[in-house]
Amino acid sequence: MQEKRPRGRPPLEFSDEQIAYIEGLAPFLNQGQIADRLGVSQNGFRNAMERQPRIKDAIKRGKAEKIARVAETLVDKALGGNIVAAIFYLKAQAGWKDDGSAQEEPQPLTINLVQPDGTTRELQPIDDKARAVASEAE
């Protein structure tokens, strides 16, 4: 009786050196692009990740390291006075939102003139004064 020979290509097996290379690519490329860069099929790469969990760990580690470095730079810029960086950080980490609730309606300006005789006279804003003149004309 003859032994059955496995069909197709042998399964992909990545070396420690290749896994370190994958970790270096992870912050910049998605899994499909990593597979393309390595010259393997996306299905083959996915299957290799299932067989070798260290590959998936390397991808997570590579992405996390770069995210941490970018976040550190963002915080440094925010603390250094970069308002855009500060606002972005607070929106992402502190739950700040641009819902318009912080915007207030402008309040009318009231100016009180003190006359030489000590009496005061209130000046109306131009819009209110114009409305008053218009309503008197009607």
Contact 108, 128 (CB under 8 A): yes
Residue 102 is classified by DSSP as T
Provide the domain limits for residue 119: 108-138
Count of domains in the chain? 2
In this prediction, residues 26-30 reach a mean pLDDT of 97
Distance CA 99, CA 3 (A): 70
Task: Answer yes or no: is 89 within a domain.
Answer: yes
Amino acid letter, residue 130: A
Predicted local distance difference test score (pLDDT) of residue 70:
95
Task: Answer yes or no: is 81 within a domain.
Answer: yes
- Residue for token pair 């910049």: 28
What does pLDDT average to over the chain? 85
Task: Answer yes or no: is 2 within a domain.
Answer: no
Task: Answer yes or no: is 51 within a domain.
Answer: yes
In this prediction, residues 60-85 reach a mean pLDDT of 95
55 shares its domain with 112: no
25 shares its domain with 78: yes
68 shares its domain with 129: no
Cα–Cα distances in angstroms (integers) from residue 134 to residues 43, 122, 128, in the given order:
77, 19, 10
Q: What angle do CA 41, 24, 84 make, to 5 degrees?
A: 115
Predicted local distance difference test score (pLDDT) of residue 127:
62
Task: Answer yes or no: is 128 within a domain.
Answer: yes
Q: Which of 71-75, 110-114, 117-121 has the lowest mean pLDDT?
A: 110-114
Predicted local distance difference test score (pLDDT) of residue 137:
57
Task: Answer yes or no: is 24 within a domain.
Answer: yes
> Over 90: is that where the pLDDT of 28 sits?
yes
Between 16-25 and 53-79, two packed helices, what is the crossing angle to 10 degrees?
Answer: 30
Task: Answer yes or no: is 4 within a domain.
Answer: no
- Residue for token pair 């690519």: 25
> Over 90: is that where the pLDDT of 57 sits?
yes
Predicted local distance difference test score (pLDDT) of residue 106:
65
48 shares its domain with 71: yes
20 shares its domain with 56: yes
| Band of residue 122 on the pLDDT scale cut at 50, 70, 90 | confident
Residue 25's closest CA among 44, 43, 45?
Answer: 45
